[in-house]
Amino acid sequence: MKKIISHVAFGLLGLSVSAAVVAGPAEDRAAFQKFYENRFPDTPVADFQNGVYSILPAAREQWEAIEEFPPYELSIERGEEIYNKTFANGKSMASCFGDDGAVRGQYPYWDRDRGMVVTMELAINECLEANGEKPLKYKKGAIADVGAFMSFNSRGQKVNVEIPSDDPRALAAYENGKEHFYTKRGQLNFACADCHMYTAGNLYRADTTSPAFGHATSWPVFRSKWQSMGTLHRRFAGCHNNIRANPYKAQGEEYRNLEYFVTYMSNDLEYNGPAARK
């Protein structure tokens, strides 16, 4: 009997040690969100969805003024037209995403059948191709317009990305995105975490870097720098160019996994796209 008890005790000890050493996605997210709450104690948690404006009061006033006549408004209208346009086969995007396309909160998700992360932009193109239509380019233009329409109708939906615990491939995709986020790249030797975590809120030349917590909620965005709409993967590529690293392919596996990780880190915030950013 004593032997059994000691075996059980030893087993429990082993379990607790391994849990402390190997943090899972839930522990990662708790530590990630706690980091930003400690770094920016004056920012209400729900406000991190507003990017750099959640930590920069002066810029926030300008941004709120911009939001009164949002520069993405025309994009939403163009997106609605594209969304409702009848395909050659008589259907439209509504056949894939419903009448209003308010499905932002369902993406990105882990597709168990195909063993891959599916983003909303990927799903839009898959819908087009399945109906015999030509796919859209992934970084800007029509894909951002359709995304703006769908995101606008999805405002207020909670970010609720799931990493299925019974599919190790999903965890591997998450870990791949996590590694990407924390890995230094390019000649300037920067990781996503360097700018958007450990020095978030600092000035890089004239720009303040935004917190990564909330990064994935507001896309597509109208960037003043671009003077146009763009997708999250357009921004990923821009960041990589800034640090002199070759960007990866938009909607390729690397960026989809990065989106999976970054979005999961923002679970419980609300989707609030499209948005205006500097």
Q: Catalogue the active-site residues.
A: 239
CA atoms of 261 and 178, how far apart (whole Å):
6
Interface with other proteins, residue 193, by CB under 8 A: yes
Yes or no: say if 69 and 81 are a contact pair by the CB < 8 Å rule: no
Interface with other proteins, residue 265, by CB under 8 A: no
CA atoms of 104 and 101, how far apart (whole Å):
8
Yes or no: say if 193 and 181 are a contact pair by the CB < 8 Å rule: yes
Yes or no: say if 57 and 221 are a contact pair by the CB < 8 Å rule: no
CA atoms of 55 and 196, how far apart (whole Å):
12
Interface with other proteins, residue 225, by CB under 8 A: no
Which of 24, 85, 158, 198 binds other proteins (CB under 8 A)? It is 198
Interface with other proteins, residue 16, by CB under 8 A: no
Interface with other proteins, residue 182, by CB under 8 A: yes
- What does the radius of gyration of the chain's CA atoms come to, in whole angstroms? 21
Interface with other proteins, residue 201, by CB under 8 A: no
Interface with other proteins, residue 204, by CB under 8 A: no
Q: How far is the CB of 257 from other proteins (least distance, A)?
A: 12
Which of 93, 123, 191, 237 binds other proteins (CB under 8 A)? It is 191
Which of 183, 204, 207, 249 binds other proteins (CB under 8 A)? It is 183
Residue nearer to other proteins on the CB measure, 100 or 253: 253
Count of CB atoms situated within 10 Å of the CB of 154: 21
CA atoms of 29 and 24, how far apart (whole Å):
9
Residue nearer to other proteins on the CB measure, 117 or 191: 191
Which of 178, 215, 223, 278 binds other proteins (CB under 8 A)? It is 178
Both tokens assigned to 127: 């819908």
- Window of 25-33, 118-126, 128-136, 230-238 that interacts with other proteins by CB under 8 A: 25-33
Residue nearer to other proteins on the CB measure, 33 or 231: 33
Q: Residue 196: which of 176, 179, 214 has the closest Cα? A: 214
Interface with other proteins, residue 10, by CB under 8 A: no
- DSSP letter string over 103-140? -GGG-SEEETTTTEEE-HHHHHHHHHHHTTPPPPPSSS
Interface with other proteins, residue 227, by CB under 8 A: no
Which of 10, 19, 24, 34 binds other proteins (CB under 8 A)? It is 34
CA atoms of 146 and 75, how far apart (whole Å):
8
Interface with other proteins, residue 245, by CB under 8 A: yes
CA atoms of 255 and 266, how far apart (whole Å):
17
Q: How far is the CB of 244 from other proteins (least distance, A)?
A: 5
Which of 18, 86, 227, 246 binds other proteins (CB under 8 A)? It is 246
Yes or no: say if 125 and 114 are a contact pair by the CB < 8 Å rule: no
Contacts with other proteins, residue ranges (CB under 8 A):
23, 28, 31-32, 34-35, 178-179, 182-187, 189, 191, 193, 197-198, 241, 244-246, 254
